[in-house]
A and B are shown apart, each in its own frame.
Chain A
Amino acid sequence: MSVSRIDRKFAALKAENRAALVTFTTAGDPDYDSALRILRALPAAGADIIELGMAFSDPMADGPAIQAANIRALKNGITCGKILQMVGEFRQQDQTTPLILMGYYNPLYIYGVEKFLADALQAGVDGLIIVDLPPEEDCELAIPAAAAGMGCIHLATPTTDRARLNHIVKNGSGFLYYVSIAGVTGTRVPDSRPVKAAVEMIRGHTDLPVAVGFGIKTPETARLFAEFADAVVVGSAIVNIIAANIDQEGLANSVLESRVLDFVATLGRGIKQARQATPESKI
């Protein structure tokens, strides 16, 4: 089952006593072929789990960097069908790295939830993060996803209290994504202390691994959060490197891939050092 790819990954990392590096890129950014080449090279560069953004015309939870990535991908003709095709092509070469799709509900709703779940499982998708589906709307996707064997990763945020946490973890699977700031992606840098307290609170409500993301832009911050989180998500900082390495027509330059992969490697090294520096900390 595909969910077990996520479970196996976290079990393996627990044995290594380190957090997972989760990288976010938008499918089709800056174009299909470049995005697929980056995707295929991410695990070797240090990504433990891959989050692939599904572009939407109205990305309300995203800051300027990922908004721009959405526009680039859509301009180059990305669709749900092509995203699943890209995942399928990735899976031909990689059977172990968990891959999560992240996006907004409407494109998936229009594709058809049942059909999307079937096609995504077939392509090799392990989980879904749909930011505009809170637990109140679990009937829409989380419950059908669980029935189909697809992971459904729920989000907790700084506004989530203990009472809501029970509600949130109920139909979630794979891991729990803690949004470290009240804000959109790639803007404010989170303070580690309140995030650590929140992660500890969440652990009192679920055995699921806890990932932390939003606003983590540097290897240093990633390392800091990797001391206590089970996974650290970096998105906008990677997407910004893509934006900086395309020309006015949106075409990738010759160093785009190596710049992205070098950065991912430094993130990976930061995360690997996190608990070596503080051997007393435990998962």
Chain B
Amino acid sequence: MRENRAPIRVLLILAAVAAGVIVLFMTLNARGRWDFILPFRGTKVLSMVLVAHAIAVSTVLFQTVSHNRILTPSIMGFDALYILIQTGLIFTIGSARLTMLDPRLLFAFEVTAMMAFSSALYRWLFSGGSRSLHLLVLVGIVFGVLFRSLSSFMQRIIDPNEFVLLQDRLFASFNSVESDLLAVATGVILVVSIIGWRLMGVYDVLALGRETSINLGVNHNRAVTTVLILVSVLVSVSTALVGPVTFFGLLVANLAYQLAGTHKHRFVLPVAVLLAIACLVGGQLILERVFAFDTALSIVIEFVGGIVFLALLIRGTAR
């Protein structure tokens, strides 16, 4: 029965939920002057919406081209690379000098490093012609492990005080987003999204597999490379902005498939984005109001989201 439900209705309901959560976040417990609260919380909300969009879109697209619903771009070693960059920076130049660096410079450096890594990986993969996507994923996993071991090696030998500072940087946080970085990130993600929007019809075909897409006249190699590059820009920018955040991509992507009840990316992508916004803003709301910042956002989202997802799965099989 659920398949017959119009995806439009799901979209409208989710849009209402996301808007509701945002309004709650902006107004709940607002004591003090509005001209302070609105810009302060507005920056947070904007960065959350941006990151939610980037993660939802990149996860769905990555799963489409890899024909796999349990992979996320983080498996390609993005999070691990971010951790390595942060650890390496603190290890080599120390936290004191790091905080004095221009954040824009740091942001540019992080994005470039992650983009360079992923495009090198893709170029190597597709220059040979017939190497498979699974090999790409495997190589990504191996690199991830390498990056993680290098980081944990460095973490073991740095000063314990530095380590505490480092750990703080390794949790995704929306509390300290620089507004000029936010503007740059918004611009980049907007451009990428417009490019991605124009390929909308291709995604559905790519999901049918390589041979069917070639038969239907899609230049498969080029399309997959384009999608992977879009994914890596989205993930790099959002990770450099707030820290490792791919954790909830898997959750929102699979929730979106369940709720949208259609294979069409025209619906699945917006559903995933709205879900991600509701998750992130709602999670942050719980984090701030219920736990008074005493825990990490990923824990809140994964706990609540995981339960919802399990409930959906069980209901789905009982059907």
Q: Do A and B interact?
A: no
Binding site for A on B (CB under 8 A): none
- A residues within 8 Å of B by Cβ? none
